[in-house]
Structure 1
Amino acid sequence: MKIAMVGSGYVGLVSGACFADFGHEVVCIDKDETKIQRLLHGMMPIYEPGLAELVESNVAARRLSFTTDLAEGIAGAQAIFIAVGTPSRRGDGHADLSYVYAVAQEVGEHLSNDAVIVTKSTVPVGTGDEVERILRECNPGHRFSVVSNPEFLREGAAIGDFKRPDRIVIGAEDDFGRSVMREVYRPLFLNESPILFVSRRSSELTKYAANAFLAVKITFINEMADLCEKVGGNVQDVARGIGLDNRIGSKFLHAGPGYGGSCFPKDTLALLKTAEDYDSPVRIVEAVVKVNDARKRAMGRKVVDALGGAEEARGKRVAMLGLTFKPNTDDMRDSPSIAIAQTLADAGVTVAAYDPEGMEQAQPLMPQVDMKQDPYAAIEGADAIVLVTEWDAFRALDLGRIKAIAKAPVLVDLRNVYKPEHLREAGFTYLSVGRGTSGKDNAASGEPAAETVPA
């Protein structure tokens, strides 16, 4: 089957490469000529483990190609995916659908055969109706079906998620759309991946509901972490205790500095706006958005407190390890590191930072931060170190070397990567998230949130 993927960003490129690997003929289309030229030369516009190799092998097999010419790219395609961005619209938080509608218009003007037009972009309820209206207005002469097929890819694990999905959600209104989509995903039948056919509007809402629910889980465990610090509990034990309940599950119960990235922040906002438009408020999600925004600044204040408080912190230096919102990506969108760095700057603290993949993306967003070539260069002379992103490269740092080059052995671990007893034995002042300072839990675990032990 020939598939056209309009949009060669994160979703479009990963999806296109994986479809090609299934054996389909895939053309990825993008208006950004520089991006297409880079792809033609094997240069990836994003960092995603395994993606470069997947693209290279399928280009070599002539199953994957790239173009800026939409008319040429969609010619003869039985499935045309719309995979362009839907960022939060400036000023009101609604999803900006201008790119989606522009693609629908152009596809309608150039469509020359029967095809299924698939919205892969994350879009609010009712977007498919408008896409269908645009297409019918532009091109009443061909049979087509508009289908919703949201993606559920985790950055850093997107290829595995695409090839071994928990589920495939397809919102289709007719047999033509359903039959073509069955053929698109036929290779996954071998993996017995569940395919859920629903209405188009249900599919559109499913994507937002899924991301909002995961954001709720993250925010809930972060609030439990704050409570643990007050009462002397250990949030990791609490998370295990509730996560072993099959009704709850263990995923997304890792306390940290708050969620970020390309999906959760914009999708929760878009869901709130949809609920507002339909006079059906989602109060839980409203609270989640507020709590998460406040948490990022609170983590910055946690570092200021580790420096001795607002008065003592001014003029000191902090090493920030990790900038991207999660490991194994270069994505800086709404990363907690941005708010943390700004909070430190507002307190008069200078920041040096290192991230294995994200510094090029981070520099324009935090020009006040001094980017370094490795973690130890960032740590040298630091009054405190804050671990923001749990890259594997930060899991086994040379503590002896850090003590020798840092001005003070203070580590604020916002991802709970290290065991407190190991840091205490190494002579560090160690602060983590949600591992309390008093009570029976603390006595059992031996995990004070902050303790200085002489070397």
Structure 2
Amino acid sequence: MRLTVIGTGYLGATHAACMAELGHEVLGVDVDPDKVAALRAGRVPFHEPGLPELIAKHTATGQLRFTTSYEEAGAFGEVHFVCVGTPQLRDSMGADLTYVDTAFAAIARHAEPDALLVGKSTVPVGTAGRLAAAYGDVEIAWNPEFLREGFAVDDTLRPDRLVFGVESDRAETILRKVYEPVLASGTPLVTADFPTAELVKTAANAFLATKISFINAMAEVCEAAGADVSVLARAIGHDERIGAKFLRAGIGFGGGCLPKDIRAFAARAEELGTGRSLTFLREVDAINLRRRERTVDLARELCAGDVQGKRVAVLGAAFKPDSDDIRDSPALDIASRLHLQGAEVTVFDPQAMDNARKHYPTLSYALSAPDAVRGADVVLHLTEWPQFAALDPAALIDLTYRPRIIDGRGTLDGARWAAAGWDFHALGRPARPRQERP
């Protein structure tokens, strides 16, 4: 089939490349000519494992192309996927649908009458119905995405489920044809009406955020009681009704999805008159933000109550590993808070350095983890890159001014760091004092 993909960010570029991998002819559309030029040359302007290889492979054969022209896209595509962003509004918790509305208006104006327009963006419930009413001369469907940055290619080609929000058998038949290889592999399909399809994504994100904040709330209690949240999480995770995933306490979630999506969900519930049903999401958000405050407080405690003039090393800038995305990054939020309190903060991240420098120019940056910890009064591990877990604490200890580390992600081996002579601290877990080296 001939598909167009409107928007070539994390979602759109990945979807376009993966649709080409499934055998479709694909035309990606973006209003940014520089981004289009880079993608035409097979270059991906962000870090996503496996995606550069797919882009290069299919642009080389011509099966995947990119343009800035909606007119070209309308003439080309049988199915048009809208994959643009829905950021949080500046003056409220709601979602900004400017890009969605603009994209649908532009492609609807140029699409052939029998084309199918498919929304993949995360939107407030009711958006698909509103757009279908506005553009009644073309058919609309909703196919929410469930991508995890760092795993986006695999999540597209081998998803754990597909959801089709449709109003006709024809729309479902077309989407089944688009995803035929994926469905043939046994991927579950849920066919739903528009509102349910929209709510699947927002409800899933709300549940994941709640689970993360729940274990971080338990970390707060564990710190007060002298308990170990990692052991607690392991114990309750054996209960099959609960499960072990997303029960690792730390500095909480960030990125371009969970924070703004749960806020937009709560805001939409208020508009629908059911705000009380989602009031718990406000506390989920508050717990998440308190983890950042607690990390700053702990760093200050380890520096005798004042970080003014102290050297702080921050390992991590991206909001998660295998990404260069720094949107609402807990690591950089913590780093900037410490900087504002007078600390000399040095950051290192394997992939997100350019983005971090651009958006946080007042922080200092190192070329490696050892360079970052050199002369540090305290080290903060804030993005769970495997490279950081593999660091040799014995090799780093003599580089620091004082060997103290806060594991904000719960992925370091505390016993190993303490045995190497470090004071080891992790949120929700008892401190491990350094062991004297022979």
TM-score tier (shorter): over 0.9
The structural deviation recorded for 1:181 is 0.7
Partner of 2:232: 238
Deviates more, 1:40-49 or 1:228-237: 228-237
The structural deviation recorded for 1:248 is 1.4
The structural deviation recorded for 1:99 is 1.0
Partner of 2:294: 298
Partner of 2:248: 254
Output the CA distance in 1 between the equivalents of 2:226 and 2:61.
58
Partner of 2:355: 361
Partner of 1:51: 51
Output the CA distance in 1 between the equivalents of 2:76 and 2:397.
63
8 A Cα contact 1:317 1:384, kept in partner? yes
Output the CA distance in 2 between the equivalents of 1:296 and 1:420.
20
Aligned mate of 1:420, from 414, 418, 429: 414
Partner of 1:409: 403
1:71-86 pair list within 5 angstroms = 71-86=71-86
SS of the residue corresponding to residue 279 of structure 1 reads coil
SS of the residue corresponding to residue 285 of structure 1 reads helix
SS of the residue corresponding to residue 74 of structure 1 reads helix
8 A Cα contact 1:7 1:83, kept in partner? yes
Aligned residue identity for 2:9: G
Partner of 1:19: 19
1:19-418 pair list within 5 angstroms = 19-136=19-136, 140=137, 144-281=138-275, 282-310=278-306, 313-418=307-412
The structural deviation recorded for 1:245 is 1.7
Over 3 Å counting, the alpha-carbon distance change for 1:76 and 1:418 in structure 2 is closer
SS of the residue corresponding to residue 75 of structure 1 reads helix
Aligned residues: percent identity?
39
Output the CA distance in 2 between the equivalents of 1:298 and 1:407.
23
Superposed CA offset, 1:367-396 (max 9, x none): 221011111111111111110001111112
The structural deviation recorded for 1:63 is 1.6
Aligned residue identity for 2:79: A
SS of the residue corresponding to residue 248 of structure 2 reads coil
Output the CA distance in 2 between the equivalents of 1:74 and 1:306.
60
Deviates more, 1:108-117 or 1:36-45: 108-117
8 A Cα contact 1:76 1:113, kept in partner? no
Output the CA distance in 2 between the equivalents of 1:365 and 1:40.
27
Confirm or deny that 1:454 pairs with 2:436.
yes
Partner of 1:442: none
SS of the residue corresponding to residue 3 of structure 1 reads strand
The structural deviation recorded for 1:166 is 1.0
Output the CA distance in 2 between the equivalents of 1:116 and 1:15.
16
8 A Cα contact 1:300 1:339, kept in partner? no
Output the CA distance in 1 between the equivalents of 2:396 and 2:76.
60
Aligned residue identity for 1:20: A
Superposed CA offset, 1:47-103 (max 9, x none): 000100011112223221111111112314221011111100110121111111111
Aligned residue identity for 1:154: R
Deviates more, 1:11-20 or 1:124-133: 124-133
Output the CA distance in 2 between the equivalents of 1:450 and 1:351.
24
SS of the residue corresponding to residue 220 of structure 2 reads helix
Partner of 1:443: none
SS of the residue corresponding to residue 346 of structure 2 reads strand
Runs of 4+ aligned structure 1 residues displaced above 4 Å come to none
8 A Cα contact 1:420 1:430, kept in partner? yes
Output the CA distance in 2 between the equivalents of 1:83 and 1:420.
42
Deviates more, 1:55-64 or 1:23-32: 55-64
SS of the residue corresponding to residue 81 of structure 1 reads strand
Superposed CA offset, 1:222-280 (max 9, x none): 11112222223222221122222221121111111011001001101100110110111
8 A Cα contact 1:4 1:27, kept in partner? yes
Give unpaired runs (5+ residues) of structure 2.
none
SS of the residue corresponding to residue 362 of structure 2 reads coil
Superposed CA offset, 1:187-226 (max 9, x none): 1122100010000111111110100110000000111112
Provide the TM-score with structure 2 as the length reference: 0.97
The structural deviation recorded for 1:365 is 2.8
Give unpaired runs (5+ residues) of structure 1.
437-448
Output the CA distance in 2 between the equivalents of 1:307 and 1:454.
20
